[in-house]
Structure 1
Amino acid sequence: MSGTEHPPNTRYARYVALGDSQTEGLGDGDDTMGLRGFADRLAEHLAHHNPGLRYANLAVRGRIAEEVHAQQLAPALALRPDLATVVAGFNDLLRPRFDADEPAGHLEAMFAALTAQGARVATLTFPDPARIVPLARPLGPRVTALNHRIREAARRHGVTVAEAAHHPVVTDARMWSPDRLHASPLGHQRIAAALSHALGLPGTDDSWTHPLPPPVHPGPAGWHAATAELRWAASFLAPWLVRRLRGHSSGDGRIAKRPQLLPVLDAT
C-alpha cells in the first residue's frame, strides 16, 4: 500500500466507482445476465462490514482518462462518497500516441477533487501487458511511465494504491478473459481483494498475491503457442483496431450501469 497519508478508515456509507471497462466489470458476467466486476465485489465486501452501505458505479467501457474525468467526476462529487475508486488510463496506453503525463494529469485532478471533498480514494497500478500478450511488448515502457505517475499523484493526495503491477499472479492467463484485455471472474475477485487489503478492510490479507495452483492443462507451446497468438489477434485485436481506425468505441451510446447510490443487495 502507498499514498495513505491519513489514518485508515474502514467505516463507509457511500462508495462510488469511476473508470472504464474493468470497473464496469467486463469479463465477469455479460451484458445479458449482468456484469459483476471488481467494484461490485469490493462493494459486497464493504457492505458485509458496513450495513446500509450504498454503492454507485459510473464506469463506462472504452473511456480514456480524459473522458472519465470529464464525464464521471462531477456526478461522483454530487453523490458525496466517503470512499471512491478511480481506475483509468489503460485505454490511453493503447492509443497510437501516448504521453503518460496526460492521463496521469486527469487521474490526479480526480484524486484532488475527491479527497478535497473528504472521500478516501483508492486506485491500482497496471501489469505489463507483454506478460499477458507477447505482441504487446512495445507497451511495457508506457505502463512503467504511467504507473510511476500514478504513484506520485497518489502520494501527493493521500490516495491508497493497490500495487497490482508487482505480483506474478496478476499475469497468470487464468486471471484474464479470452480477449486478454479484461480480467476474468477470478481476476476481478483478486483485484477486489487487492483493493480491500490496501484499504485495510477487516478480514483481508495478502493472499491475493499468492500464485494459483499449477494448471491442469498447461498452455500451448512452440508452434501451437504462435498459432494461438495469431488466432487471438484475428479474434480480438483486429476488431479493436478497426473500431479505433473508424473513430468508434465499445462504449459508444452507453451510460453507467449504476449511476445512483443504491443498496449493495442490488449490485448484481
Structure 2
Amino acid sequence: MSDQHSAPVFARYVALGDSQSEGVGDGDDRTGVIGLADRLAASMARANPSLLYANLAVRGKLASQIRHDQLDAAVALRPDVATVIAGMNDLLRPDFDADAVGRHLEAMFEALTAHGATVATLTFPDITRITPLARPIAARTVALNAVIREAAARPGVVVAETCDHAVVTDPRLWSSDRLHASPLGHQRIADALAQALQLPGSDDSWTTPLSPPLPQRHPAAQVGTELRWLATFLGPWLLRRLTGRSSGDGRVAKRPELARFEETADSRASASPR
C-alpha cells in the first residue's frame, strides 16, 4: 500500500493518447466510452473531489499525431498530472519506426514536465500471448517498450510496467477485437497507473491473476476462434489501413476542456474479477 502521508493529491489531470485513453472497449459510442483515463480520474477524485479533468485522446492516432494535435492544448491546460499513452497504432503500421515514436514521446514528456506536470505512461504486453497470429510483430513490442522506457528516463515521468505481469494477457482483460482492453482491463490499467503515481490507496493488486483460471481449449476450437477474429476484426482493420482511413477520422476529443470530474457507478468499478 502506498504511504498515505507522502501520496500526492492532484488537482488538474489531462490525458493524451489514442483509443485506449479515449476508452474504446469500455462502453460504446451510444452510451459513451469510459476507459482507463476516466477510471484513473475517479481514483484521483477520491483524494481530491475538486479534481479538474480533460481527455484529449482520439482513437486511431499515431504518436506523431498525438504530439501535433494534443500536446499544445494539453500544456495550455496547465495540468499537474498527465498521462501519455501512445505507440500501439504505430506498431501496427508496416513502416513502424520505434526510434521515431521514442522521439515523439520524449518531446511530449519534456514539454509537460517542463511546465510542472507529473507524467505517467506504460509499457505494452506481448500481444502474441493474446493472439498467436501477431507473432511477426512480437519484436516490435520489445522495441516499443524499450523506447518508452528510454524516453521516460527523466525526472517527473513514471512508467507502469504492465508488460511484466502474466495477468495483462488474460483474455478477460481484452475486448473481442483483442486490440482494446475490456472494462476490467481498463480498470486494471488505471490501477497500474495509480500505483505508478503513488495515489492514495493504490497498491499492486492489479497484478493478481484472475480467478478461476480459464480452462484449456481444444486446438481445433482455438483455430476456429482465430479464423473468426481474422474475418471480423483484422480484415476490416487492414482494409482501413490500405485505403488510408482511420477509426479516428472525423472524431474529436471527448473532454477537450478541464471540468470537474463527476464519478459514475461505472468508473467506480473495482478491479475484482467478474
TM-score by length of 1: 0.94
Residue equivalent to 1:16: 14
Secondary structure, in 3 states, of the residue corresponding to 2:134?
helix
Secondary structure, in 3 states, of the residue corresponding to 2:153?
helix
In the alignment, the residues of structure 2 paired with residue 32 and residue 156 of structure 1 have an alpha-carbon distance, to the nearest angstrom, of: 40
- Summarize the alignment of residues 39-54 of structure 1 with structure 2, pairs less than 5 Å apart: 39-54=37-52
Residue equivalent to 1:141: 139
Residue equivalent to 1:4: none
* Deviation of the 1:219 alpha carbon: 5.8
Q: Please tell me whether the aligned partners of residues 18 and 59 of structure 2 are also in contact (alpha carbons under 8 angstroms).
A: yes
- Summarize the alignment of residues 193-208 of structure 1 with structure 2, pairs less than 5 Å apart: 193-208=191-206
Which amino acid is the alignment partner of residue 11 of structure 2?
A
- Summarize the alignment of residues 9-88 of structure 1 with structure 2, pairs less than 5 Å apart: 10-88=8-86
Secondary structure, in 3 states, of the residue corresponding to 1:155?
coil
- RMSD of aligned residue pairs (Cα, Å): 1.3
In the alignment, the residues of structure 2 paired with residue 57 and residue 9 of structure 1 have an alpha-carbon distance, to the nearest angstrom, of: 23
Q: 1:252 aligns with which of 239, 249, 256?
A: 249
Q: Please tell me whether the aligned partners of residues 117 and 156 of structure 2 are also in contact (alpha carbons under 8 angstroms).
A: no
In the alignment, the residues of structure 2 paired with residue 172 and residue 116 of structure 1 have an alpha-carbon distance, to the nearest angstrom, of: 37
5+ long unaligned stretches in structure 1? 1-7
In the alignment, the residues of structure 2 paired with residue 9 and residue 97 of structure 1 have an alpha-carbon distance, to the nearest angstrom, of: 41
Count of residue pairs brought into register by the alignment: 260
Q: 2:125 aligns with which of 105, 120, 127?
A: 127
Residue equivalent to 2:113: 115
Residue equivalent to 2:171: 173
Q: Please tell me whether the aligned partners of residues 129 and 136 of structure 1 are also in contact (alpha carbons under 8 angstroms).
A: yes
5+ long unaligned stretches in structure 2? 1-5, 268-274
In the alignment, the residues of structure 1 paired with residue 86 and residue 55 of structure 2 have an alpha-carbon distance, to the nearest angstrom, of: 14
1:243 equivalent to 2:240? Answer yes
In the alignment, the residues of structure 1 paired with residue 64 and residue 218 of structure 2 have an alpha-carbon distance, to the nearest angstrom, of: 40
Q: 2:262 aligns with which of 261, 265, 268?
A: 265
Which amino acid is the alignment partner of residue 139 of structure 2?
P
1:190 equivalent to 2:193? Answer no
Q: Please tell me whether the aligned partners of residues 112 and 157 of structure 1 are also in contact (alpha carbons under 8 angstroms).
A: no
1:225 equivalent to 2:241? Answer no
Q: 1:89 aligns with which of 87, 90, 93?
A: 87
Residue equivalent to 2:272: none
In the alignment, the residues of structure 1 paired with residue 7 and residue 191 of structure 2 have an alpha-carbon distance, to the nearest angstrom, of: 17
In the alignment, the residues of structure 1 paired with residue 22 and residue 120 of structure 2 have an alpha-carbon distance, to the nearest angstrom, of: 16
Q: Please tell me whether the aligned partners of residues 174 and 180 of structure 2 are also in contact (alpha carbons under 8 angstroms).
A: yes
Residue equivalent to 2:160: 162
In the alignment, the residues of structure 2 paired with residue 12 and residue 98 of structure 1 have an alpha-carbon distance, to the nearest angstrom, of: 35
Which amino acid is the alignment partner of residue 261 of structure 2?
V
TM-score by length of 2: 0.92
Which amino acid is the alignment partner of residue 224 of structure 2?
T
Identity, % of aligned positions: 64
Residue equivalent to 2:271: none
Q: Please tell me whether the aligned partners of residues 111 and 157 of structure 1 are also in contact (alpha carbons under 8 angstroms).
A: no
Which amino acid is the alignment partner of residue 237 of structure 2?
W
* Deviation of the 1:157 alpha carbon: 4.3
Which amino acid is the alignment partner of residue 114 of structure 1?
L
In the alignment, the residues of structure 2 paired with residue 189 and residue 156 of structure 1 have an alpha-carbon distance, to the nearest angstrom, of: 27
Secondary structure, in 3 states, of the residue corresponding to 1:156?
coil
Which amino acid is the alignment partner of residue 253 of structure 1?
G
Q: Please tell me whether the aligned partners of residues 101 and 147 of structure 2 are also in contact (alpha carbons under 8 angstroms).
A: no
